[in-house]
Amino acid sequence: MHEMSIIQNLIVLLKNVCEKEKAKRVISIELKVNNYSCLDEENLNFMYSCLLAEDPVLKDARIKVKRSETMQEREYIVENVEIEVE
């Protein structure tokens, strides 16, 4: 359940961003993923939506995955979080 730990870490990050920026909702999350990673956009979005189906701020966000061009030290990097503010 490697993807689950990534989603849990992402949720913590998103809640911090939302609190700091007074976000009304999160629209999208862009992840840059190592070419050799087994992370899959569809699975990440499925787990995310299952965990946050009741959260009015986070529930509608979509995770967008793009593969890195080169080998990176990390498996994934959060590149951008698009939010709607109050």
- Residue that has been written with the tokens 């498996």 in this structure: 75
Distance CA 10, CA 75 (A): 14
Pull the structure tokens for residue 3.
Answer: 């993807």
Q: What is the pLDDT of residue 73?
A: 67
Q: What is the pLDDT of residues 33-82, one digit of tens each?
A: 988 888 899 999 999 999 999 999 999 999 999 998 777 667 889 999 99
pTM for the whole structure: 0.88
Strand partners, 85: 23
Domains and CATH numbers, the chain: 2-85 (3.30.2320.50)
Alpha helices in 22-74 (DSSP H): 41-51
* Residue 35: C-alpha distances to residues 45, 51, 62 (Å): 19, 26, 20
